[in-house]
Amino acid sequence: MSDCVHGGETKANGNCTVPAPDDGLPVQCVGYWAQDKHYYIQRYIEATREVRARFLPPVGKGGAAFVDLFAGPGRCRIRDTGRIVNGSPLLALATDQAPFTKLVFSDFDAENINALRRRTAFAGSRVEILHGDANAMVDAIVDRIPAYGLNVAFLDPFGADALKFETVAKLAAVKRMDLIIHYPTGDLKRNIARDPGRARAFVGGDSGEGLSSPSEVAAGIEALKSNLTTHGYTGKAVRSVPIKNNKGVILYHLVFASKHLRGNSIWNSIVRRESRGQGNLF
């Protein structure tokens, strides 16, 4: 793991050896491009508040959940600047306009779970945190999601091995569930020639069979979308936004899927502009 000049050595779990100065809890060491990811998540939460409000009391009774299967410790240190920022769990919890009625977080790492529990304790029963492999716990996670609510799941694994399509499919079975999926473009390109089966497990079905070289990895996004259509998603025209490092190399894509055209329209509007104010060309 690379070291952070502002936070010290990076541990095997991706966290800095130097904790956050204000609460003394672990932070994940990330590149500045993580702010791009957080930008799109924040924009999505804001852009869907009016629709979400229809499912919240006193107007509606279905509720709304934010699900994060790879939640981390809840906060990050940008290794380029040393800045401490909220990760996706705390971004979702912080929204006060049409707030989520349920937030379901999971992580495999015990240090992350402990930090997340302490950072979200103030929210009480709105937050449920599960410790373990998300693929093994997905049924328990689904049980905690409002069956008739307006829900979104953010699936942000470190690499292709950490998330299986069968897990995505179980989340997709929830009636109203938007998905924001980290598609590990860089990881698959580095490893696909050696182990093309990883691509198939990630995108689902037999679609990964044809993915055997780095030049074919981008096609896996369309295969993933196609397999999601069998679960009621409409996603063919939905833009998948690239997240790049400081050299312009694509690290991964954020793939969005919704069962409603309104959700697709909202996402496409969000990703027309990058976090630094530049227009995206597709």
Q: What percent of the chain is predicted at pLDDT more than 90?
A: 75
The amino acid present at 62, given as its one-letter code, is G
Domains of the chain, residue spans: 34-74+85-270
Per-residue CA distances from 137 to 66, 69, 86, 129 (Å): 16, 10, 25, 11
Report the relative pairing of strands 75-78 and 28-30 from DSSP bridges: parallel
Paired residues of 30 in beta bridges: 78
Alpha-carbon distance of 265 to 154, in angstroms, equals 18
> What pLDDT, in 10s, does the model give residues 253-273?
999 999 999 999 999 999 987
Whole-model pTM: value is 0.93
Question: For residue 8, what pLDDT band results from cuts at 50, 70 and 90?
Answer: confident
Which uninterrupted H or E stretch holds 214? none
Q: Which is nearest to 115 in space by CA: 11, 231, 248?
A: 11
Query: Any idea how long the chain is?
Result: 282
SS3 state of residue 5: coil
For the domain 34-74+85-270, what is the CATH superfamily, name and number? Vaccinia Virus protein VP39 (3.40.50.150)
Residue of higher predicted confidence among 199 and 178: 178
Structure tokens belonging to residue 213: 């070289």
Which uninterrupted H or E stretch holds 266? helix 261-270
Query: What pLDDT does residue 279 have?
Result: 44
